[in-house]
Structure 1
Amino acid sequence: MKNKYFPEEDIEKNDLYFVCYMIERVARHLHQRNRYVVNAIGKEGLSHLLSVANVLHAENPLKVEDDWIKEYNLETSDFDITNVDKELAEKIPTALEMGNVYQRLIVDTMNSKEDYADGILRVYNNEICDVIDNYNCSAFYEPSYVIARAYQTGGF
């Protein structure tokens, strides 16, 4: 994918990782599902955020969160992804860890006609995310090829 503002520059996987990480942070902050954040931002917004990710890396993540919430008019809800059964889930993955899970899934399942923004919308709107984001099970800890295969076959 090419940078929207500097067409000679490629958007790197690390930029995708940063955007996935921030999607997770914002969703947790607002008590929303990731798909809400992704859909509210939309393709154009995602293209913009991917294009400026190399600059946003240097910003305070709390400021980036607040900026996204204001810029895209994101609202709070009552979904708490961290509300888990402590006997089943001893450790809740961090937003960084989940950003990595989603970045790998997007890259592992992209086709040649997609860019990263399309991949984000496709993956985060798939039902498999409800399983990956259920921290009472271990789907998010599976190797990336297992998660990609589950995505492609429709389930674990």
Structure 2
Amino acid sequence: MNDVQKNNLFYVCSLIEFLGRKTKNTRGTIVQTLGKKEIERQLEIAEVNHCLSFEQVSDEIIEYFNIEEGHFDSVGLCKYNVPSFQAIGKEYQRLIIDVSSEKSNIVDMIYEVFQSFISEEISDFNSSVYYSSPEYLKHSYLEGKLLA
């Protein structure tokens, strides 16, 4: 994966996190609503969307896909400092790169990671999972559960 592709992946992961926070939906719900075709499109237009605010891009996506407000308020429930959506986007980017092989379809990997158990664990800002090492997140994801 080259630097442009990594940057595009970071942007899309951050956008998914931003959408989840803004609409109070799990990140899995966001990727399910968007679908693989739209995730692929967002990767393709990420370089252009970098110039736009996340607010503008997310408003357009929310309107187009008619994303309704959910009940997963990871920010409102947080008792501590909330990590930025871009910090969480970076965690997802690293995890997706770490669990992907050269033969992996990146859209499939985005979809799978955000649909997995690890996504809600990362989004629980009252825990320390999002501060965990990339290796811990990778191995937990591959095992299908948080490792002790």
Fold shared per TM-score above 0.5: yes
Question: In the TM superposition, what are the counterparts of 1:79-98 in structure 2 within 5 Å?
Answer: 79-84=72-77, 86=79, 90-98=80-88
Q: Deviations over 1:76-111 (max 9, x none)?
A: 11220113352xxx2111101100000111110013
Structure 1: distance between partners of 2:3 and 2:44: 9
Q: Secondary structure at the match of 1:23?
A: helix
Matched with 1:24 is: 17
Q: Is the 1:24–1:34 Cα contact (8 Å) retained in structure 2?
A: yes
Q: 2:29 aligns with which of 19, 36, 39?
A: 36
- Identity across matched positions, percent: 30
Unaligned runs of 5+ in 1: 2-8
Is 1:115 matched up with 2:105? yes
Q: CA deviation at 1:10?
A: 8.9
Deviates more, 1:14-23 or 1:122-131: 122-131
Question: In the TM superposition, what are the counterparts of 1:1-156 in structure 2 within 5 Å?
Answer: 12-84=5-77, 86=79, 90-154=80-144, 155-156=146-147
Structure 1: distance between partners of 2:133 and 2:90: 12
The count of residues paired between Structure 1 and Structure 2 equals 146
Which amino acid in 1 is paired with 2:40? Answer: S
Deviates more, 1:24-33 or 1:104-113: 104-113
Superposed CA RMSD? 1.8
Structure ranking higher in helix proportion: 2
TM-score normalised by L of structure 1: 0.87
TM-score normalised by L of structure 2: 0.91
Unaligned runs of 5+ in 2: none
Q: Deviations over 1:34-88 (max 9, x none)?
A: 11110111111111110000000001221101011122221111220113352xx
- The structure having more radius of gyration, on CA atoms, is 1
Q: Secondary structure at the match of 2:139?
A: helix
Structure 1 pair 70–140 and aligned structure 2 pair: CA distance change class (3 A): same
